[in-house]
Structure 1
Amino acid sequence: MTVTNTTVSTQVQVPNWQWHHWEGLSYLRCTLLQDWQHGFLTRQFFPRTPQELTKVLTPEATTHHLHQIHGNRVVKPSEGFTEGDGIISESSNQALWVASADCTPILMGDVHTKRVSAVHAGWRGTAQGIVKIAIARFLSEGSSLENLRVALGPAISGKIYQVGKQVAAEVCSSIIEVGNNLEETLAIAQSLNPSPLSPDLEPDRVRLNVTLINYMQLQALGIKKQQIAIAPFCTYQQPEYFFSYRRTKEKKVQWSGILQS
Structure 2
Amino acid sequence: MTFRVRRVSTTRAGGVSKAPFDSFNLGDHVGDDPAAVAANRARLAKATGLGADRLVWMNQVHGDHVVRVDEPRASVVEETDALVTTVPRLAMVVVTADCVPVLMADARAGVVAAVHAGRVGAQHGVVVRALETMLAAGARVGDVSVLLGPAVSGLHYEVPAAMADEVEAALPGSRTVTSAGTPGLDLRAGIARQLRELGVAAIDADPRCTAADPKLFSHRRDGLTGRLASVIWLE
TM-score, structure 2 normalization: 0.80
Q: Contact 1:200/1:207 (CA < 8 Å) preserved in 2?
A: no
Matched residues, percent identical?
31
1:69 Cα shift?
Answer: 0.6
Matching of residues 6-45 of structure 1 within 5 Å? 35-45=4-14
Q: Are positions 1:235 and 2:210 aligned together?
A: yes
Matching of residues 39-118 of structure 1 within 5 Å? 39-45=8-14, 46-47=24-25, 48-49=37-38, 50-60=41-51, 62-78=54-70, 81-118=77-114
List per-residue Cα deviations over 1:73-105 (Å, max 9, x = no partner): 111125994121110113122111110011111
Paired residue for 2:168? 172
Paired residue for 1:245? 219
Mapped partners of 1:72, 1:52: distance in 2: 30
The one-letter code sitting in structure 1 at the alignment partner of 2:208 is F
Unmatched segments (≥5 aa) in structure 1: 1-33, 177-188, 190-194
Mapped partners of 2:99, 2:63: distance in 1: 12
Mapped partners of 1:107, 1:128: distance in 2: 18
Paired residue for 2:29? none
Taking only aligned residues, the RMSD between alpha carbons, in angstroms, comes to 2.3
| 1:260–1:199 CA distance, 2 compared to 1 (3 A) | closer
Paired residue for 2:140? 144
| 1:153–1:102 CA distance, 2 compared to 1 (3 A) | same
Match of 1:211 among 178, 188, 197: 188
1:131 Cα shift?
Answer: 0.9
Q: Are positions 1:197 and 2:188 aligned together?
A: no
| 1:159–1:200 CA distance, 2 compared to 1 (3 A) | closer
| SS in structure 1 of the partner of residue 191 of structure 2 | helix
1:260 Cα shift?
Answer: 2.3
Mapped partners of 1:73, 1:206: distance in 2: 29
Paired residue for 2:125? 129
List per-residue Cα deviations over 1:132-185 (Å, max 9, x = no partner): 111111111121111111000111110110012232222212245xxxxxxxxx
Mapped partners of 1:98, 1:52: distance in 2: 16
1:38 Cα shift?
Answer: 2.2
Mapped partners of 2:83, 2:208: distance in 1: 24
Q: Matched residue pairs, number?
A: 206
The one-letter code sitting in structure 1 at the alignment partner of 2:157 is Y
The one-letter code sitting in structure 1 at the alignment partner of 2:167 is V
Match of 2:198 among 215, 221, 226: 221
The one-letter code sitting in structure 1 at the alignment partner of 2:195 is L
Question: In terms of mean alpha carbon deviation, does 50-59 or 118-127 score higher?
Answer: 50-59
List per-residue Cα deviations over 1:184-216 (Å, max 9, x = no partner): xxxxx6xxxxx63216868xx611111111111
Mapped partners of 2:43, 2:180: distance in 1: 44
